[in-house]
A and B are shown apart, each in its own frame.
Chain A
Amino acid sequence: DSGVTQTPKHLITATGQRVTLRCSPRSGDLSVYWYQQSLDQGLQFLIQYYNGEERAKGNILERFSAQQFPDLHSELNLSSLELGDSALYFCASSVGGDWGNQPQHFGDGTRLSIL
């Protein structure tokens, strides 16, 4: 158990819809990271928040947005969903904001299926 909690575990929805994925980091961790893992793209970094502020941005689409709340949990919002958005979405957390020299601890992921 990594201590990172993601909900829901599975989500099925239709094209054009909007969903929200939730992540609670490990106790004491201030950074939250979001990743997308699909069969053809592998594991891709989307975005990092540190103590409520956006810290680093990866290959995140404009249709996607994220935020980190004062209690440090984070939400990833995906809108105007397309079939290609079907993937596993992982959240990870770390103690500090400098992801270059510290471990990230991953949750079990949310499997999103677009019909």
Chain B
Amino acid sequence: DAKTTQPNSMESNEEEPVHLPCNHSTISGTDYIHWYRQLPSQGPEYVIHGLTSNVNNRMASLAIAEDRKSSTLILHRATLRDAAVYYCILPRDNYGQNFVFGPGTRLSVLP
């Protein structure tokens, strides 16, 4: 089982910011937090990853809590093309399994 917890689904309005939460209370000190997304009928797509401090790239921002037990993926202005399943992943879960994709958060973007 993945050691991250995400809401099953979220909705957002187009052109509004979206905050996708992830809990990872058992994270180890060296675990990077990764975010991927999967659009319908496509392979997963890398979004962002980080270790301690907040990270920004052209797609999104990643806000990491000071205790690293949670993080938030921020899409600054949602578009219809951002509708996807978003996965928050740690490199290894409690059972030593590598790169476990849980069910993720299904984001719907309303026009």
Using a CB–CB distance below 8 Å, which chain A residues touch chain B?
2, 33, 35, 42-45, 48, 56, 58-59, 90, 92, 99-109
Contacts and interface: CB of A to CB of B under 8 A. Distances in A.
Contacts of B32: 100-101
A89 to B, nearest CB: 10
A43 B98 contact: no
B21 interface: no
A31 B87 CA distance: 21
Interface stretch (B9-17, B37-45, B62-70, B75-83): B37-45
Given A42-B103, A101-B32, A106 B44 contact: yes
Nearest to B91: A100
Contact of A105 (B34, B46, B51): B46
Given A99-B91, A100-B32, A101-B32, A2 B98 contact: no
Nearest to A6: B43
B102 A90 contact: no
Closest 5 CB pairs of A and B: A106-B43, A43-B101, A100-B91, A103-B46, A101-B32
B49 A45 contact: no
B96 to A, nearest CB: 10
Contacts of B101: 35, 42-45
A106 B37 CA distance: 11
14 contacts: A43-B38, A43-B87, A44-B100, A58-B99, A90-B43, A90-B44, A92-B43, A99-B99, A100-B31, A100-B92, A101-B91, A102-B49, A103-B34, A104-B46
B94 interface: no
B102 A101 contact: no
A62 B99 CA distance: 20
Given A42-B102, A100-B31, A100-B32, A2 B45 contact: yes
A99 B98 contact: yes
